Structure 1
Amino acid sequence: MPTRNPFRPSFGVSPRVLAGRGGLIDDFDLALDEGPGSPMRSVLVSGARGIGKTVVLGELEDRARSHGWLVLRLPEGPRLVTELEETVLPSLLTEHDPEAVQRRVTGGGLSPLGSVSTEVTERFPITESLTRMLARLAGIVGRRGAGLLLTLDEVQAAPPDDLARLASAYQHLVRDDEEVALAAAGLPIGIDALLEQPGTTFLRRAERIHLEPLSDDQVAEAAVATVRDAGRVISPEAVQELVRIAHGYPYLLQLVGYHAWRAAGRDEVITLADVRGTLPVVVERMGRLVHAPALRGVPPGQRAYLQAMAQDDGPSSTGQIAERLGVTKGNQNMQRTRLIDRELIVPAGHGLVDFALPYLREHLRATST
């Protein structure tokens, strides 16, 4: 009897069965063969939290490695360029540059002119730039018949100036026909901010891919395949309930499947009751890991708008929201637009809005007091 749980509800961990993203992965794989100039070598992936951006990056990295490419995961957060210049790139160059050791020995003064070389180096130290080190690394792997893939997750967490410097360095590599590719992922608001920076104009020509929720059929097929490959069966009714709870989100597909598998114990068949019982933990986990971070930094006026929406069991009337908040129609429209830009709400028909993220309504109700 199988016991190992095949579902993997950890953010960024590739599932055993990848649902709905095969076309994107295959297009990138083909671009690696097409050579410099292929449009799919520069990819910007956006989407809501839990939609599978990090998993897609991981799959792109795996495809690059299968071609023999070197994958460089760029540091996330506020020290992007600093860590690249001071730690990451020097370490990679030391590892991959066959002349690195020879240059260090020569610079140590072993030759008859060593003392002169040492004196000049000390008086006029040369600090390698991001562009120069990336170019040297790309050249090294290129001479081996491979390429260099740069990947960056959580684009919105990087300083705009660092992103501009990175884009400029990458542009130099592309213009020099180096075997390079770039795949970056982030929330839509982060990708938009990146492309608005003066120094990132070049990236506006990158392929912009917005990940949408999976279709019901894609969720169902992935759930059935995952369970079947692990030696069990999931009933048709349980599949339908899993689809309903998951709302097309790859993370929720894994989360519901994981807890339903556990609930089934040693039974061969995962039942409707096993899946239905996962709902409380799904709502709690989404609230803690997805909604709380998504709401962090949302201004009070927009939070109030969301709380007003949470009073409804379905789509909310914008006119009724304005009445509840005691604001003008213009103020309501402004808050609505900003929340749509944050991808927290979506238009749901004429004069109607709804929550964009599954179970955000339940989270707001639970945290309103």
Structure 2
Amino acid sequence: MVTGANPFRPSFGVSPRVLAGREDLLQDFDVALDEGPGSPLRSLLVSGARGMGKTVVLNELEDIARTRGWLVVRLPEGDGMLEELEASTVPALLAEHDTTAVRRRFTGGGISAVGSVSTEVEDRYPVRQSLAQLLGRLLDVLVGHETGLLFTLDEVQAASPDVVGRFAATYQHLVRDDREVAFAAAGLPTGIDQLLRQAGTTFLRRAERVHLAVLADEDVRTAARATVEDAGRSIGEEALERYARIVHGYPYLLQLVGYHAWRVAPQRPEITPDDVGGTRPLVVERMGRLVHAPALGALPEGQRAYLRAMAADDGPAATRQVAERMGVPMQQQNVYRARLIDRELVQAAGHGFVDFTLPYLREHLRAQAR
């Protein structure tokens, strides 16, 4: 009898037990930390659609840095990012790691040879250190430990581009001074593009752009099998083939399908093809609620209408027919199409055809129409 807990983790941002298809990126980053200041892969901008594993990649990059003794600073969200770094985050790290941070001050006491002595030191011109100075001091301390500092920023599109741009300027100075620093940010492609258009982020435009594509079916099958077997059960080839067809290379679905297939009969030694196939209706509903609905909610009505017109076809849609269904000229259709491609909701599917990028978006749109 199998008694192990469900090994699949279908929560956004939670690292899976077996990571699929991102090994090359992680290995390149590991090498970059060895290469020292100036390595291009120490500055990474990771983009991809919702559920493609951007946060998981950040988690893995952080783990690589920590295993080398590096400190990891997750940049705070919101407009107060720089103030929080300057007032609390970096000072707290200095207090923890700088052995010279503790200063003694006599405010009274007895010295037997000369009697009682009281001293007080007053800074007439107190100097508040800037974020750049604090980071410089922290990196001076880390030099003695032969380590460095990794900054990470998730959900770039939710951050203020102006604030991130100001941080980027500080980070640029650290890189120019050959400091042991690295930076990794993740977000939707539109968020990354918006950040790079911001004044002051010229330096980040030279960062390595990493776009997370869908996983190969073989990567899906390998990760699913390894996760199941590591937890004490088995899964056959037919079930794995069905698994890959439902997942469509989408990392979030790899975890979701496995989680619910495991739950069908958790005491049974083998996960069957029917266990896997039965997850599809739940997958369609969950994708619609957690991925498609938020993505569509941010769209102008014209772009939503374009997607609804596409959903009338069972496969790739002809752009001319989409324009006819919408009642708009081809030039206007081209504008909608380009915007949706930028948002990674639509992709070209041959000359004059478009298709959905995200799995089960067609099914979600049809369900909404009903």
Q: Shorter-chain TM-score: which interval?
A: over 0.9
How much has 1:108 moved relative to structure 2?
8.2
Output the CA distance in 2 between the equivalents of 1:75 and 1:259.
34
Output the CA distance in 2 between the equivalents of 1:76 and 1:202.
21
CA contact (8 A) 2:148 2:180 kept: yes
When Rg is computed on C-alpha atoms for both structures, the one with the higher figure is: 2
How much has 1:314 moved relative to structure 2?
1.3
Output the CA distance in 2 between the equivalents of 1:28 and 1:236.
34
Secondary structure of the structure 2 residue equivalent to 1:54: helix
Output one character per residue of 1:147-192: Cα deviation in whole Å (capped at 9) or x when no partner.
1011111111111111111111111111111111111111111111
Could you say which residue in structure 1 is the equivalent of 2:2? 2
Secondary structure of the structure 1 residue equivalent to 2:102: helix
CA contact (8 A) 1:109 1:115 kept: no
Q: 1:173 to 1:109 in 2, by over 3 A?
A: farther
Output the CA distance in 2 between the equivalents of 1:49 and 1:325.
27
Output the CA distance in 2 between the equivalents of 1:132 and 1:351.
55
Secondary structure of the structure 2 residue equivalent to 1:7: coil
**2:2 counterpart letter in structure 1:** P
Secondary structure of the structure 2 residue equivalent to 1:184: strand
Secondary structure of the structure 2 residue equivalent to 1:367: helix
Could you say which residue in structure 1 is the equivalent of 2:350? 349
CA contact (8 A) 1:223 1:239 kept: yes
Written as runs of structure 1 = structure 2, the 5 A alignment for 1:189-268 is: 189-268=190-269
CA contact (8 A) 1:78 1:157 kept: no
Q: TM-score, normalised by structure 2?
A: 0.93
Output the CA distance in 1 between the equivalents of 2:319 and 2:357.
15
Matched, 1:22 2:27: no
Secondary structure of the structure 1 residue equivalent to 2:37: coil
Matched, 1:38 2:39: yes
Could you say which residue in structure 2 is the equivalent of 1:335? 336
CA contact (8 A) 1:20 1:214 kept: yes
Output one character per residue of 1:76-118: Cα deviation in whole Å (capped at 9) or x when no partner.
344322332333223222222223331xx5598999884542x
CA contact (8 A) 2:106 2:118 kept: no
Q: TM-score, normalised by structure 1?
A: 0.93
Matched, 1:311 2:316: no
**1:289 counterpart letter in structure 2:** L
Matched, 1:302 2:303: yes
CA contact (8 A) 2:106 2:119 kept: no
CA contact (8 A) 1:219 1:253 kept: yes
Output the CA distance in 2 between the equivalents of 1:61 and 1:107.
42
**2:368 counterpart letter in structure 1:** T
Output one character per residue of 1:30-51: Cα deviation in whole Å (capped at 9) or x when no partner.
1111111111111111111111
Output the CA distance in 1 between the equivalents of 2:106 and 2:49.
51
Matched, 1:283 2:277: no
Output the CA distance in 2 between the equivalents of 1:351 and 1:106.
76
Output the CA distance in 2 between the equivalents of 1:332 and 1:53.
31
CA contact (8 A) 1:345 1:355 kept: yes
CA contact (8 A) 2:157 2:192 kept: yes
Output the CA distance in 1 between the equivalents of 2:336 and 2:179.
45
Output the CA distance in 2 between the equivalents of 1:216 and 1:334.
33
**1:89 counterpart letter in structure 2:** V
How much has 1:207 moved relative to structure 2?
1.0
**1:12 counterpart letter in structure 2:** G
- For these two proteins, the number of residue pairs brought into alignment is 362
Written as runs of structure 1 = structure 2, the 5 A alignment for 1:165-176 is: 165-176=166-177
**1:33 counterpart letter in structure 2:** D
Secondary structure of the structure 2 residue equivalent to 1:217: helix
Output the CA distance in 1 between the equivalents of 2:107 and 2:133.
23
Could you say which residue in structure 1 is the equivalent of 2:270? 269
CA contact (8 A) 2:150 2:182 kept: yes
Among 120, 127, 134, the alignment partner of 2:125 is 120
Output one character per residue of 1:199-222: Cα deviation in whole Å (capped at 9) or x when no partner.
011111111111110101111111
Output the CA distance in 2 between the equivalents of 1:253 and 1:290.
15
CA RMSD, 1 decimal? 2.0
Written as runs of structure 1 = structure 2, the 5 A alignment for 1:41-120 is: 41-102=42-103, 105-106=104-105, 114-117=120-123, 119-120=124-125
Q: 1:193 to 1:113 in 2, by over 3 A?
A: farther
CA contact (8 A) 1:80 1:158 kept: no
Structure that is richer in helix per residue: 1
CA contact (8 A) 2:2 2:268 kept: no
Output the CA distance in 2 between the equivalents of 1:108 and 1:65.
41
